[in-house]
Amino acid sequence: MLAVSAAVATGAWWPYAWIAADLILFAIRFLLMRQCEQARRRGAKGPLAALMAAGGAWSIIFGLGCYGCIASGHMALAVLAALNVAGVVGVVSSRNAATPRYAIFVMLVVSLPYVAGALFSPAPGMFVVGIQMPFYVAGVIIVLLQNHAINARMIRAELDNRDLAIKDALTGLPNRIFLQERLRDMCGELAAPAANGGKPFAVLSMDLDGFKQVNDRFGHAVGDMLLRKVSERLKRAFRPGDVVFRIGGDEFVILLASTSEIEATYLAKRAIEKISVPFDLGVGTAIRIGLSIGSAFAPVDGSDPEILLSCSDHALYEAKRTGKGRYWAHARAAN
């Protein structure tokens, strides 16, 4: 509307170029925003850099257009341009607190051309406007940075609360809540083979053999230390992408993504060997415990989180019933 007003008031060519550039950029930004929204729904990364570049180009054109308004010598256009500059700077400050460098760039390229035009305008009083405008922009930038700091603290607090909700306080491993979330996601991916190549995954339920005796003999402090050591060994026993969960007491669960039964068997037996190595916890004697493991495979044993956990628990029960310190697959247990 400011460009249309400039075209009507001045009859010059540049407002029409401004209008044409605005319309082109409007179409480009609209398409980029649609692509970003579609990518967000797919869980993918959209063309955000291109969208921000288009926004920067619009800011430059807008700043030059406002310079043209004040340079035209038309007082009504100069006032309208000042209102538009102040409005854009204020809106950017309130809406772009998450991207402060980009917001400051937009505010400067929108306002500085107008400031330059006001300082050198022959119209009476415009020099004062040119002097005052930088103070306004600087104040809004300070507000922007304060909002950014507040938002950053809020995001950090949310992440900290999220960590407290999904992590085991003793070992730092993900807990039962996160296990349910991750297992639900993996079952969902299994329904869409293109997402993970149609490869199955394994759920390994684990229980320490002899842990209660350690607690009874040496106390809970030593038991807690032992659980932390066990957690470290379990993480080293499996592949980098595998996730170890502590779901309570001396119970652990591990999700093995894109694995075969042969590979899962090898990893489970390696974990049993690592845990069977005595622990030196500074109590005057080496502490020996064992590890029993039961497994379930998706989609063979099911594609629902509760069913898979139930199957792996049943296999774990069979492993402990048949002698402890061993690995048992649910398919074998079911037979």
**Reduced to 3 states, what is the DSSP secondary structure of residue 172?**
coil
Closest Cα partner for 275 from 254, 290, 295, 293? Answer: 290
Distance between CA 313 and CA 311 in Å, rounded?
5
Residue 218, φ and ψ in degrees, nearest 5: -110, -10
- Residue whose tokens read 């989180």: 305
Count of positions (residues) in the chain: 335
Whether 250 is catalytic is yes
Distance between CA 78 and CA 67 in Å, rounded?
9
The C-alpha angle 316, 321, 326, rounded to 5 degrees, equals 60
Q: What letter represents residue 237's amino acid?
A: A
Token pair for residue 333?
Answer: 């247990």
- Which of 250, 280, 304, 313 does the annotation list as catalytic? 250
Radius of gyration of the CA atoms of the chain, in A: 32
Residue pair 79/72 in contact (Cβ under 8 Å)? The answer is no
Residue pair 304/285 in contact (Cβ under 8 Å)? The answer is no
Residue 98, φ and ψ in degrees, nearest 5: -75, -20
Catalytic sites, residue numbers: 250
